[in-house]
Amino acid sequence: MDILQSIILGIVEGATEFLPISSTGHMIVVSQWLGIAQNEGNKAFEVIIQLAAILAVVANYREKFSFVYLELWKKVVLAFIPLGMVGFLLHKQIKAMFTADIVAVMFIVGGVIFLIVEYFHKDKVYPVEKVEDLSYHQALWIGMAQIFALIPGTSRAGSSIIGAMLVGLSRKASAEFSFLLALPVMMAASGYDLLKHYHDFAGTNGLLLITGFVVAFLSAWLVMRLFLRFLENFTFVAFGIYRILFGVLLLWAFL
């Protein structure tokens, strides 16, 4: 991997991690396009840029890291539990599903689901406009919906956002809860990968790690802010269409 490749991967990770378009799917495709081998050193690099995305959430929501928002964080932890349990119990089976055809099909399926949900929700008035106002019951259902993110290509952000909309959160509140919910999910996943690949950092170019980290942080920080501004005036229809087109492209390219 060279500097340009580290910049591209940093941008892709930061730009797609919090959008409902599957960062994992994009990272797989872009890595193959760039000819980057999935060796241990490059997997260690991916852990670093994921940590940068986590830091972007902290930077954008630093005011919520106080005891004033303790109830909100309890709901975040509750929503994380279903995914954490299923992911822990079935991690080997989940890893086996990382194939191009499954990723492509789930891109398309997720896109269709977004279009269907938006069709029936286009004029809906949502009872929860602020993320702090969701209930524990709603948080648990969002967590159950997030389990589908374990299928490659589904998108953690996409499944949690759809789940949030279906239980009454506005588009903006759904996206914000998805951002916060990314913290325990990504910390668990990145923490596991860090323990698994920590010895691989010794053979990795430090400049590449730093470059990827900074680029991923900046792109994630910016995309989160632009995404919320986008949702003030638009729906998720564009993301649904994008997912379908991208999935079709994957089927054409890899199958």
Residue 99: both structure tokens together: 């194939």
Q: What is the C-alpha separation between 15 and 26, in angstroms, rounded?
A: 10
Question: pLDDT tens across 131-166, in order?
Answer: 999 999 999 999 999 999 999 889 999 999 999 999
Q: What is the C-alpha separation between 66 and 125, in angstroms, rounded?
A: 30
pLDDT (0 to 100) of residue 138: 97
**Is the model's pLDDT at 39 over the cut of 80?**
no
**Is the model's pLDDT at 62 over the cut of 60?**
yes
pLDDT (0 to 100) of residue 81: 95
Q: What is the C-alpha separation between 168 and 174, in angstroms, rounded?
A: 9
pLDDT (0 to 100) of residue 170: 95
**Is the model's pLDDT at 190 over the cut of 90?**
no
pLDDT (0 to 100) of residue 36: 79
For residue 169, the cross-strand partners are: 128
Q: What is the C-alpha separation between 219 and 10, in angstroms, rounded?
A: 8
Question: pLDDT tens across 72-93, in order?
Answer: 999 999 999 999 999 888 877 8
Residue 241: both structure tokens together: 């269409």
Highest mean pLDDT of the ranges 26-35, 98-107, 142-151: 142-151
Work out the average pLDDT over 96-114: 89
Average pLDDT across the chain, whole number: 88
pLDDT (0 to 100) of residue 64: 93
**Is the model's pLDDT at 177 over the cut of 80?**
yes
Supply the range of the domain harboring residue 236: 3-254
Q: How confident is the model at residue 248 (pLDDT cuts 50, 70, 90)?
A: very high
Q: What is the C-alpha separation between 92 and 96, in angstroms, rounded?
A: 6
**Is the model's pLDDT at 32 over the cut of 90?**
no
In this prediction the pTM is 0.90
Residue 86: both structure tokens together: 């299923």
pLDDT (0 to 100) of residue 180: 95
Backbone angles phi, psi at 216, to 5 degrees: -65, -40
Task: Point out the least confidently predicted range of 161-170, 199-208, 218-227, 234-243.
Answer: 199-208
pLDDT (0 to 100) of residue 124: 83
Give the count of domains, the chain. 1
